[in-house]
Chains A and B, each alone.
Chain A
Amino acid sequence: MTYAIQAEGLVRRFGATTALAGVDLAVPTGTVFGLLGPNGAGKTTAVRVLATLLAADEGHATVGGYDVRRDAHRVRQLIGLTGQYASVDETLTGTENLLLIGRLLGMRRADARVRARQLLADFQLSDAADRAAKTYSGGMRRRLDLAASLVGRPQVLFLDEPTTGLDPRSRNELWDIVRGLVADGVTVLLTTQYLEEADLLASEIAVVDHGQVIAQGTPEELKAKTGGQILTVRPADAGDLPTVVSIAAEVAGATPEVAQTTVTVPVNDPGVLPAVVRRLDQAEITVAELALRGSSLDEVFLSLTGHRAEQDGRSDVELEWMPA
């Protein structure tokens, strides 16, 4: 297997803060690799180091086989960067923004124009091509950002929180674009604080917290790590909650969580289900919902970090254990 991105022991401090505390990464060529973590976990710092924008204090990294420090110029020929910190010029039109990048990459004027037109068409921005980017909606802005990072046909694409603040439709459109790029052979490093996004797009995920990779694997491997399954019980009568909690705790041998009237607890043994049913029956509790399912990435995150991943700006995302 070849790796498009490799990093070993990346450390980066900002004054007293340690943004990266020894990060190792290996991203196989032609895959989507997800860097998952809450705000301030060090995701953006990692991307900035790998995209040659920031020097690491310790450790080293290669992109496309080139050292990001020594061969920064070669690395820049291979990469595209989109995200919070790499933006288009709002005062220019969509066409002008893409022309600017094309010309800077050494394309002839006519070629740059053809490339701009093609990308704008691919990203459904043809109608807005001659409007200033500041008039674009959030989703259009993000598509133009992405188009700008694709002008030079990068082999490695860094997407730093590409869907933060986007509505569900724009988010889905962007995900489709990313899938298309990977189908064309591009390697994508995606940072996100949304578990759903990492789960849907990435073939491998590194969970980052406080500047360190605290877990790594496929989404399925990570989910299996927490013990595999989640027991959910919702009593019909909220007054039965304390009894349900104690039954769940006893059967699963772990401390359950309560969200509104739903009790969840991680379990390792599928045999717990009949036991729970028996105990609930004995206690004469009527249940509105009783289920055993694979754990979501959010539970993985909770068990790894001790805190839930951020959910701000994403009220539309329903988490699996929440009552309908």
Chain B
Amino acid sequence: MTAATLTAAPLAPARRPGLAAGLRHTLTLAWRSLVQIKHNPMELLDLSIQPVMFVLLFTYVFGTAISGSPGDYLQFALPGIIVQNALFATMTTGFGLNNDLTKGVFDRLRALPIARWSPLAGRILADTVKQAWSVSLLVGVGAILGFRLGNGVVGLLGAFVLLLAFSLAASWISVLVGVLVSEPEKVQIFGFMVIFPLTFTSNVFVPTDRMPGWLQNWVEVNPVTILADALRGLLVGGPVAGPVVQSLIWAVVLAAVFAPLAVRALRRRV
């Protein structure tokens, strides 16, 4: 121990951190979540290979049977696959948060003089960056396989923004689950048990009219169907305003219900 290890003066200002400081903390903590990828390349594979594999498998295995040709099917299914991938990706927020809570990292952060909301905000920001990467990859692979944009760059950007907004809202569900369960693996189990049936009972992979009547009733109100329709409208063409507005309403409802629940659960747990 050298004498220089310790001197009295604390570094941070005496008052509670303001918005600017909180944003700086958020950026630093987002950096932390992203730099983890460097040491855990498996995560990058998760973010990249799984979505690409889904596109390839569905296009070439089911494409001809459902739409007559892989090309036509890709045009129909890619927007929905992007939605499914985004919903799965929201689970990483809860997984990482639960990891921090159970391993004690969250307590270390909370004992620092940083903005109270920055640990959560940093994680969500990092996960949004990961989302953006996955979406770009899916659109890129789709383009190579012959996916054609119907509304040009404007449609692409619109789809991008809508998807990130919806994911941000849906990630509050993930935060709530991450706070409530005892270990990170349970977040993944939850994701599998809920998101899998939710995305398959939508019109992501199969057109609604090819399903049994009783199922069609559910498929038509499933928010995944609505978001998939919105993305189809923006990326391929067809009705845009209706599904986009409905998707945004869903996003607002999800955030309004789950954000307070998640924050309350977090306050009770720590």
Q: Give residues in A with beta carbon < 8 Å to B.
A: 48, 51-54, 73-74, 76-79, 81, 84-93, 96, 100-101, 103-107, 118-119, 122, 132, 148-150, 152-153, 155, 177, 180-181, 183-186
Contacts and interface: CB of A to CB of B under 8 A. Distances in A.
Contacts of A88: 105, 108
Contact of B1 (A48, A85, A184): A184
A162 to B, nearest CB: 13
B264 interface: no
Interface of B: 1-17, 21, 24-25, 28-29, 31-32, 35-36, 39-40, 103-105, 107-114, 270
Given A51-B111, A77-B10, 12 more contacts: A73-B15, A76-B111, A81-B108, A93-B39, A105-B11, A106-B11, A106-B21, A106-B24, A122-B5, A152-B10, A153-B5, A184-B5
Contacts of A90: 103
Nearest to B16: A73
Nearest to A76: B113
A174 to B, nearest CB: 12
A106 B107 contact: no
Contacts of A132: 39
A148 B105 CA distance: 11
A105 B40 CA distance: 26
Contacts of B112: 76, 101, 104-105, 152
Nearest to B17: A73
A149 B108 CA distance: 8
Contact of A86 (B9, B39, B104): B104
A119 B1 CA distance: 9
A152 B25 CA distance: 15
B107 A153 contact: no
B111 A180 contact: no
Question: Which of A48, A105, A152, A181: most chain B Cβ within 10 A?
Answer: A105
Given A77-B113, A81-B108, A104-B28, A181 B1 contact: yes
Contacts of A100: 28-29, 31-32
Contacts of A106: 11-13, 21, 24
A153 B105 contact: no
Contact of B32 (A84, A89, A180, A183): A89
26 contacts: A52-B111, A53-B107, A53-B110, A54-B270, A73-B14, A76-B113, A77-B14, A81-B107, A87-B103, A87-B105, A87-B107, A88-B108, A89-B105, A91-B39, A96-B32, A104-B29, A104-B109, A105-B12, A122-B1, A149-B108, A153-B6, A153-B7, A153-B9, A153-B11, A184-B1, A185-B8
Contacts of B104: 84-87
Contacts of B270: 53-54
A118 B10 contact: no
B2 A105 contact: no
Nearest to B267: A55
A119 B11 contact: no
Contacts of A122: 1-2, 5
Contacts of A107: 11
B40 A91 contact: yes
Nearest to A74: B14
Contacts of B108: 81, 86-88, 148-149
A240 to B, nearest CB: 53
B105 to A, nearest CB: 5
Nearest to B10: A77
Contacts of B39: 91-93, 132
Contacts of B15: 73
A185 B9 CA distance: 13
B182 to A, nearest CB: 15
Contacts of A186: 6
Given A85-B104, A87-B103, A181-B1, A104 B6 contact: no
Nearest to A185: B6
Contacts of A85: 104, 107
Nearest to A81: B111
A122 B14 CA distance: 29
Given A77-B14, A89-B32, A104 B111 contact: no
Contacts of B5: 118-119, 122, 150, 153, 181, 184
Contacts of A185: 6, 8
Given A73-B15, A77-B10, A184 B3 contact: yes
Contacts of B109: 104
A91 B36 contact: yes
Contact of B114 (A89, A96, A104): A104
A181 B24 CA distance: 31
Contacts of B9: 153
Contacts of B32: 89, 92, 96, 100
Nearest to A51: B111
Contacts of B16: 73
B110 to A, nearest CB: 6
B194 to A, nearest CB: 26
